[in-house]
Structure 1
């Protein structure tokens, strides 16, 4: 929801950072790799009880994940491979956070497993609709908006990392939001694909 409706407020910062990195000689794919490497450090930082650094790395990774797409579009070097890397690396970063939390807080492992399953469910619908739909958005595939997009996920991950005493409740909330988003996308997918038949 925030990625879709609030992007315009942060777009100037994303674009200006992209221009700076392009002038420094970095490519969009190189920034994708930097974002990925920063993001996967989040799990180990959670496990070794460094929650502030974990959150800093998570959000920096997420910011650069938005910057790389802006760089690719402004330099007219968007590619299918860049899209594959972007989507795949995003999921691995999310898994790093979940595995870090599960390793650090074993009492939450079952709920974290259900959260992972809900993310798989939601992303399966998202990617399938993107592949089947003829509509195109700012990205190289149809971007299906929903209640939980990447920013909402990062906000909930931040709460989970910062407030471990509330971990069961915050994980349960994240799970409910993901399931709602998956169902929301399923109903929208049915409407979109009927229109295209």
Structure 2
């Protein structure tokens, strides 16, 4: 819901930095993998209860996620680069709730399973929509220049990052926040399926 608005703010500085990095020969795919690698480090931090450190790691990882696209735009966009980016994003989105379950299975297990299931359903609705849009030749630049069609929704990347920031700042509130966020993910998926039923009628 907020991605398009945030893009107008963050894209200009990211594009400038991405251009400098591309000029130095740094590839977008390398930054994608580095961002995922950094993000994975949040798992042991959360598991150990070092939530402040985990928050820093999450933010640095997501900065890398924004930079890879900027580098690609400044050099060469590839289909594989877009594919790698979305796989890395989904991996990152899954491991953060999992880390909270590992930290305290008794308190966080059920809510963590619920939010991970909601990510699974929401992700499938997103990717399925992108496949149909590609087949129909439908394009959009509302979320920036992307390899895949990015259908908008109630919850998008910005809201997910906000959720991760919130649970790192208030780890004891993870169960409540996960139930709410997971419920909104299911709503997002339902609305996207409804939207697809209106757009892809043939």
Same fold (TM over 0.5): yes
1:95-131: per-residue Cα shift (whole Å, max 9, x none)?
Answer: 2211210011211111111111111101101101101
Report what 2:32 is aligned to.
32
Q: CA deviation at 1:5?
A: 2.4
Report the alpha carbon displacement of residue 71 of structure 1 after superposing the two structures with TM: 1.3
Whether the 8 Å CA contact 1:45–1:53 is kept in 2: the answer is: yes
**Residues 1:7 and 2:7 aligned together:** yes
The CA RMSD over aligned residues, in Å, is: 1.3
Distance 1:151 1:43 in 2: 20
Distance 1:2 1:60 in 2: 20
The answer as to 2:129 corresponding to 1:99 is no
- Distance in 1 of aligned mates of 2:71 and 2:32: 10
TM-score, normalised by the number of residues in structure 2:
0.91
| Alignment check: 8 A CA contact 1:41 1:96 kept | no
Q: TM-score, normalised by structure 1?
A: 0.93
5+ residue gaps, structure 2, are none
Q: Counterparts of 1:13 and 1:172 in 2: how far apart (Å)?
A: 35
Q: Deviations over 1:131-173 (max 9, x none)?
A: 1112123212211011111111111111112212212111111
Contact kept in structure 2, 1:160 and 1:167, CA below 8 Å: yes
**Cα distance between partner residues in 2 of 1:120 and 1:155:** 19
8 Å contact 2:153–2:188 — kept in the other structure?
Answer: yes
Give how far 1:93 is off.
1.0
Q: Counterparts of 2:44 and 2:8 in 1: how far apart (Å)?
A: 33
Aligned to 1:18: 18
Query: Of residues 164, 176, 181 in structure 1, which corresponds to 2:188?
Result: 181
Aligned length: 194
SS class of match (2:200): helix
2-side partners of 1:141 and 1:23: how far apart? 25
Question: 1:136 pairs with 133, 136, 139, which one?
Answer: 139
Is 1:172 aligned with 2:179?
yes
Q: Distance in 1 between matches of 2:128 and 2:157?
A: 18
What residue number does 2:65 align with?
A: 65
